[in-house]
Amino acid sequence: MRQYHDIKDEHEGAILLFRVGDFYETFADDAELVSEELGITLTKRNNGSDQTPLAGFPYHALDTYLPKLVKKGYRVAVCEQVENPKQAKKAGRKIVSREVTEITTPGVTMSEKLLEHKRNNYAAAIYWEGKKAGIGFADVSTGEFALSEVPKEQLGDLLQSITPAELLLPQNLKNNVPEYLLDYNMTFIEDWVYEGDYGYNLLTEHFETHSLKGFGVEDQEVAHVAAGALMHYIQETQKASLGHIKRLHKFENNEYMALDGSTKRNLELITSIQDDGNEGTLISILDETNTAMGGRMLRKWIMRPLKRMEPIRERLNAVEALNVNHEVRDKLRGELDQVGDLERLISRICVGRANPRDLVSLKESLAQVPRIKMQFNQLEESLLVDILERLKLLIEVQEKIENAIAEEPPTSVRDGDIFKDGYNEELDELRNVARNGKDFIADTRDELAAETGIDSLKIGYNKVYGYYIEVTNTHTDKVPEHFIRKQTLVNSERYITPELKEVEEKILSSEEQSKSLEYDLFEELRIEIAGYAEEVQQVAEALAELDCLQSFAEISYHNNYCKPAIADDQKIDITKGRHPVVEKTLPPGDPFIPNDIHLENEDEQILIITGPNMAGKSIILRQTGLIVLLAQIGCFVPADEAHIGLVDKIFTRVGASDNLAAGESTFLVEMNEAANILNNATRNSLILLDEVGRGTSTFDGLSIAWSLAEYLHNQPSVAAKTLFATHYHELNELENMYDHIVNYNVSVKEHDDKVIFLRKLVRGGADHSYGIQVADMAGLPTIVIERAKEILKNLESHSLDVTDSNGTLEEGAKKKKAAVKKAAQELEKQEQIDQMSLFQTQLDPHVEQLIDKIEACDPNRMTPIESLMLVSELKKLVDKTN
């Protein structure tokens, strides 16, 4: 227990899995936590005067239980026995030596059970100083390591583009974490790691350089601190060589289109709004990749659309070449399907966690490279040519593995039978002894029988004496003096000899020795192959890029996408555009209705889109954003034609949600999003507004929506291309007042008081929302629907006079408020008249006398008898009326 507590103190904050024989044990608080989280039995261990809580599981179940703990956000330290108990005993030590061999955390792991094949698993460290923020992020499983430096206010958006599984922060922030970081899985590390040149020196030491100039990041001093803290954390947790982290990559956030959190969420790029799953997302449609590396790169491309025209056009040209060459694309897909996860294979090899089958998989994957290159002899697109040049064959790596590893090796490096016969002479000798042990014993028996003249002499084996010589009592007089008696039986005696013990030692130890030798030989080969890590990573990157391009070509061909024209101008012109996800989820026989969109800063800059609920306004907005995004990641788009002027940012204000944990109402969340748009949009942005101002009173909301549209039109710095869907039909007045605002509506037809949705965007504004018809479709009671129609009829008889932004909006709002009040009063008056009319039709001329009687009484002063008498009189009057 002293040994346990010493190791536990060194790894504070981590669950310690302590290897004891064939079990991993946890003690005290760890045991109680593990018992609860894993649902395993909690027992107690007698520890002197204390009863220490104890919980454990068999060592072979580590891959089952460890991922469960890490997925719940825990850091887990695995403490192994690092020497054979027999050796410890021989050395006179009662306690076997133990060390933590790995610390697994949500962001730092090599476990296949914890990693998703097509998703990066990033750990990120952040640090800020003044107005600058630095970030370092890495995927240990692939060897990717990057840093970036941005203005502090952009840190949140940068983190959202990376989506780290674990976020590292200085200890001094533990009680003062900024709100936008609270959703991340946070780990706090010592403040001294962030001080001085510690981080910079750690980076130069790891990459074996005298500075970071060669990586182009020498001037990013705040980022050095963050990246150094990350490197410190990885080294502390992995306890192994990090030879696969070969390069320090500068992440240029300004190279990519800016997508804030709400835009990524509303456009459902990689996660669904409904359940955070994959279904109904853009990536679920685009991902036809055949490799894990390609799947991970595709996610990066979707989350980081390009902003520069040349690389976009290069991707589009490569996709076009693959799109029209169906035979080449089909063969390529087949070859890529045989490629393993090269990035993670070489990473496991470098950190010493590879098994023999990993090496075979590496060899077989590299063997696909020449077959892949053969498919591109006739394709001359520059990007494809560049990719093929980066696809090195690495024949020497394949040959080293081919000459060494057996065709079907075991998964464990401890089980033997890893290497081919003939690979190592000493191994061959040991194998020969182990495999032919029976022949050795038979030869020894024949030699002893000839020597003693005892033909019935036998050699047997048991666990107590090992190999022994058995002679029946009738021949004991022939036993030589050098035979050593070990056991007397009824009819025989058992003996051993020094020579027999030598044969026994040779046979019994040969298998153990051969396994030990194979382990050492495998380590030598692993280290040798690890020396090719950078070359393998370059091949993996090229294959991933090729995989993404063929995926784009595949989905573009099968979904009838077109190649967009990319230009450095202010125009977006889409002919018969479609929503890439919705069109694939519609039931058979229900075709998607395409729509045209024209946006241009000096012409139709803002489109006010009105129309009924459920008519498809939101889909038109989202499909426009997705088409622009698809074009700028280098993919064909769902349209007949598309001209896309480069967009620097896409903003969305869609839907209604609240943030109760932060004390933010639905309306405040909406206004936060609107403020973010107005404060960060540029003339080159695309803004998608789906209902602004709906979370407050009608007149407050209308005023805000009106003013916001004017601002986007009148302020040159933020006069972005905008689609503005709204139910405020009063905004249609803006078209008559401003040059660059145009009205559109999603058309419908009415038939028998029912609404038929045509899903077609047409010129002009709508004056109906058809909310009552939609409510009827939802199944509201008929009495509610009919009453709503009555109220609507009265309200619609009063109109709102609204002109421009010169002060009359408030007056118009007041007029409408007064009009609505007047309509309500008239409605109430009409109801009273109707009720009285109804009442009068049921009474004859005696009604006046009846009313007089009732008016004359005072219920508060009447006795019970008087009340009964009044009721009796009224009853008689009623009888007379009948």
* 659 carries a ligand binding annotation: no
Task: Answer whether 708's CB lies under 8 Å from 809's CB.
Answer: no
DSSP-assigned states of every residue in 650-702 = EEEEES---BGGGTB-HHHHHHHHHHHHHHH--TT-EEEEE-SSTTS-HHHHH
Q: Write the CA distances from 269 to 142, 282, 303, 404, 794, integer angstroms.
A: 23, 5, 8, 45, 45
* 615 carries a ligand binding annotation: yes
Separation between Cα atoms, residue 536 and residue 348, nearest integer Å:
13
Amino acid at 523: E
What are the residue ranges of helices labelled H in 690-807? 698-714, 771-778, 782-796
Long-range Cβ contacts of 832-836 (<8 Å, 24+ apart): none
Q: What is the 3-state secondary structure (H, E, C) of 322-348?
A: HHHCHHHHHHHHHHHCCCCCHHHHHHH
Strand order in the sheet with 686-690: 258-259, 649-654, 686-690, 721-725, 606-610, 741-751, 754-763
38: Cβ–Cβ under 8 A, 6 or more apart, which residues?
A: 55, 57, 65, 68, 69
Residue 344: name the closest of 115, 42, 158, 563 by CA.
Answer: 115
* 616 carries a ligand binding annotation: yes
Separation between Cα atoms, residue 482 and residue 724, nearest integer Å:
104
Residue 417 three-state SS = coil
Return the number of other C-beta atoms located less than 10 Å from residue 538's C-beta: 17
Chain centroid to CA 738: 44
What's the burial of 277, exposed, middle or buried (CB within 10 Å: 0-12/13-18/19+)?
exposed
* 612 carries a ligand binding annotation: yes
Residue 305: name the closest of 662, 643, 552, 629 by CA.
Answer: 629
Task: Answer whether 189's CB lies under 8 Å from 168's CB.
Answer: yes
Beta bridge pairs of residue 495: 469, 485
* 91 carries a ligand binding annotation: no
Separation between Cα atoms, residue 186 and residue 172, nearest integer Å:
13
Q: Which two tokens stand for residue 263?
A: 């835009």
Q: Which two tokens stand for residue 839?
A: 């009442």
Task: Answer whether 415's CB lies under 8 Å from 515's CB.
Answer: yes
Measured over the CA atoms of residue 548, residue 552, residue 553 and residue 555, the dihedral's sign is: positive
* 725 carries a ligand binding annotation: no
What are the residue ranges of helices labelled H in 352-468? 356-366, 369-374, 382-390, 395-404, 425-435, 437-452
Q: Which two tokens stand for residue 17?
A: 């899995």
* 845 carries a ligand binding annotation: no
Return the number of other C-beta atoms located less than 10 Å from residue 687's C-beta: 24
* 614 carries a ligand binding annotation: yes
To which H or E segment does residue 34 belong? helix 28-38
Residue 172 three-state SS = helix
Residue 24 three-state SS = strand
Task: Answer whether 366's CB lies under 8 Å from 394's CB.
Answer: yes
Strand order in the sheet with 571-577: 565-567, 641-645, 571-577, 595-600
Strand order in the sheet with 492-496: 458-462, 466-472, 492-496, 484-488
Residue 528 three-state SS = helix
Annotated binding site: 611-618
Binding-site residues for ATP sit at 611-618
